[in-house]
Amino acid sequence: MSKERRVPHQFEGESLESVFVGRRDGEARPTVILIPTVMGVSDLEIGFGKQLVELGYNALVADIFGKEFHGAPRDTCFGEMTRLRSDRAALRRRLQHVLEIARKEDGVSENQIVVAGYCFGGQCALDLARSGADIAAAVSFHGLFDPPGLPKEKIKAKVVAFHGWDDPMVPPEKVVALGNELTEAGCDWQIHAYGHVGHGFTNPHASDLQIDGVAYNALAAERSWTSFISLLEELFG
């Protein structure tokens, strides 16, 4: 059975609190760092983590914004996202810090780490890959694709982006730009595009955000999850 434990950590003076979901049997397992949507750590990501534990992995649901923002209202969370996106070099350091935290956790096989993120978290997963981090894979679920505008590194991670073609934040030209960027960066990559699917498709409560083009899509949620698990099997099976 999976156990959750709170993982407090400090980054440049800020107090963060991530959530580790895993078995406590002393065995080191492949681990997925799950980076939440703009709304921060929630039951959604913890639930995904529990599903991963059932399949033999661990999950660390990473706190990016800070403990004080857990459960904060929408506009506050969007404000934090905007703050972090405005300095991508600082965001990169923050993500590298999260990776270090994950590596130190009990039960984490430190060379078998995958980073997967949702919406803003998807951009974070890509940004960590773009930093040249030693991770097995970076996975974006309806993430933002904008490159960070930092010096380019060789990407070592395998990259997979699950993308809704009607995502109003990521039009087709950005999909093409990501493909070309990842090709240039030399990494093994995939983009799975889904027709008639918008932003936020993995989140059953996406419509609560009341943003046009942001909605749950059960089929795309299922397909992307199935392909994600196939990737984990390809890496660690």
Q: Does 151 bind a second copy (CB under 8 A)?
A: no
Please report whether residue 212 would count as binding a second copy according to CB under 8 A.
no
| 237 is an interface residue for a second copy by CB under 8 A | no
Our finding on whether 27 is near a second copy (CB under 8 A) is no
Nearest CB to a second copy, comparing residues 54 and 188: 188
Spell out, one character per residue from 92 to 111, where the chain touches a second copy: x when CB under 8 A holds, - when not.
--------------------
215 binds a second copy (CB under 8 A): no
Establish if 190 lies at the interface with a second copy (CB under 8 A): yes
* Residue 51 found at the interface with a second copy (CB under 8 A): no
Which of 10, 15, 111, 180 binds a second copy (CB under 8 A)? It is: 180
Contacting a second copy (CB under 8 A), which of 10, 82, 111, 226?
226
Decide: residue 86, CB within 10 A, 0-12 exposed, 13-18 middle, 19+ buried: exposed
Contact with a second copy (CB under 8 A): which of 188, 205, 207, 218?
188
Measured from the CB atom, the residue of 90 and 219 that comes closer to a second copy is 219
Q: Is 183 in the site for a second copy (CB under 8 A)?
A: yes
> Which residues of the shown chain bind a second copy in the complex (CB under 8 A)?
159, 165-166, 172-173, 175-176, 179-180, 182-183, 187-196, 219, 222-223, 226-227, 230, 234
